[in-house]
Structure 1
Amino acid sequence: MIGRLQGTLIAKQAPELVIDVHGVGYEVQMPMTCFYELPEIGQPATLWVHFVVREDAQLLFGFNTLDERALFRLLIKAQGVGPKMALGIMSGMSAPQFVQSVRTGDLTTLVKIPGVGKKTAERLLVEMRDRLKDFRGAEMDTGLPGAAAVTPLNYTDMPPSARDEALSALLALGYKENQAQPILKKVSVEGMSSEELIRAALKAMM
């Protein structure tokens, strides 16, 4: 079982990264709320990891804190919620935001998450309410930093790499292309990196 990785960040393309640990590169998927906090490539990084073994793959999911990993593990215990959906949920909202949504019965916010229909959202509210009653992550800051307010830019004039990486990340998180493209066009502003574009798009979708 792999529970923690400490090494050098050698590549990142949302929502995936590669961390080098003594010469071994581990591919890790992260929720975007965690991905935003990563250091620059070449810098040291420490990740708390959940290891998933399937017949056709071995997958690593990374988090910056134990609370984030704990929430992920609670989510995948819920009926109908697998690692990919849990990744999408935690990409669209921070741990304390999700806890708050469950405690207040905020069905409207949950159904905006890709792959979470009304029935799944209702089931999440029921199943997670007791599990999250004493979740300490609920005391964390509930705000998500937004993209800087700068001059609007024509979507087609954005650097192709930033636009393409943002679209690829949203598709990997479960959004449909016909959902992602219009939102990316709407939130595009001058000078945005792919991570800033993803952050703004996710915020707009919620």
Structure 2
Amino acid sequence: MIGRLTGTLAEKTPPQILIDVHGVGYEVDVPMSTFYNLPGLGDKLSLLTHFVVREDAQVLFGFLTGEERATFRQLIKISGVGPKMALSLLSGLSVPELSQAVSKQDTARLVKVPGIGKKTAERLLLELKGKLGPDLALPVAVANDSQADILQALIALGYSDKEAGAVLKKLPPDVGVSEGIKLALKAMS
């Protein structure tokens, strides 16, 4: 499948853009969060994509970040949520905002997005609970990639974001991943 496109931005007509890749123009639907961060016409652009094939159409959806694409893919797995609704959700809410709404079970926040009613919002909150990444719901300051890996490992081991974040603050900033996990587990026991 088509996972990424790199080429020249030829046209911008919200929510669709045209990317020229070596003489072939790809029409790509993008959320407004991606659209607002696009370079100017004629500039080089690289987008992560999701390719949808239906009986009547083949559609490419593009995203500037892997986080947006992963959230889009999570959304379209939900019964009754198609690619257009997922795109609308990502246009109305950033991924951290959506994750926060899910963690707080905030129906009112989702209903503000055009095309999302109360029942759909409730179903989204139910289906997405625990699936958008705990590190997005409650941001914990991490100084480097090692600390981010340590945090994810602790969360995967069943510790809450709060517990993992508190222990992470006590670790030396330059600690390696494996040593940091050992020290964190020792501190938690």
**TM exceeding 0.5:** yes
For the residue of structure 2 that corresponds to 1:86, the secondary structure is helix
Per mean C-alpha deviation after superposition, the further-off stretch among 34-43 and 110-119 is: 110-119
Structure 1 equivalent of residue 102 of structure 2: 102
Partner of residue 66, structure 2 = 66
C-alpha deviation, 1:78, in angstroms: 1.1
Provide the C-alpha distance between the structure 2 equivalents of 1:91 and 1:126, rounded to a whole number of angstroms: 21
Q: Which amino acid aligns with 1:91?
A: S
- Whether the 8 Å CA contact 2:19–2:26 is kept in 1: the answer is yes
Question: What TM-score does the superposition give when structure 1 sets the normalisation length?
Answer: 0.65
SS of the residue corresponding to residue 5 of structure 2 reads strand
Q: List, as ranges, runs of 4+ consecutive aligned residues in structure 1 with deviation greater than 3 Å.
A: 133-140
- In structure 1, what is the equivalent of residue 86 of structure 2? 86
TM-fit CA distance, 1:130: 2.0
Match of 1:146 in 2: none
The structure having more radius of gyration, on CA atoms, is: 2
1:122 alignment partner in structure 2: 122
* Rounded Cα–Cα distance in structure 2 between residues aligned with 1:73 and 1:26: 20
Q: Deviations over 1:182-203 (max 9, x none)?
A: xxxxxxxxxxxxxxxxxxxxxx
Match of 2:11 in 1: 11
Aligned letter for 1:83?
Answer: P
Q: Which residue does 2:48 correspond to in 1?
A: 48
Shift of 1:113: 1.4
Alpha carbons 2:100, 2:136 under 8 Å: kept = no
Deviation at 1:133, TM superposition (A): 3.9
Match of 1:155 in 2: none
Percent identity reads 58
How far apart, CA to CA, are the structure 2 residues paired with 1:27 and 1:45?
13
Output one character per residue of 1:66-105: Cα deviation in whole Å (capped at 9) or x when no partner. 1110000000011210001001000001111110111111
CA RMSD, 1 decimal: 1.7
Q: Which one scores higher on RCO, CA 8 angstroms, separation ≥ 6?
A: 1
* Structure 2: unaligned runs, 5 residues or longer: 141-189
CA distance in 1, matches of 2:77, 2:135: 15
Q: Which residue of 2 aligns with 1:158?
A: none
Structure 1 stretch displaced more, 33-42 or 111-120: 111-120
* 1:200 corresponds to: none
Q: Across the two proteins, how many residue pairs are aligned to each other? A: 140
TM-score (norm 2): 0.71
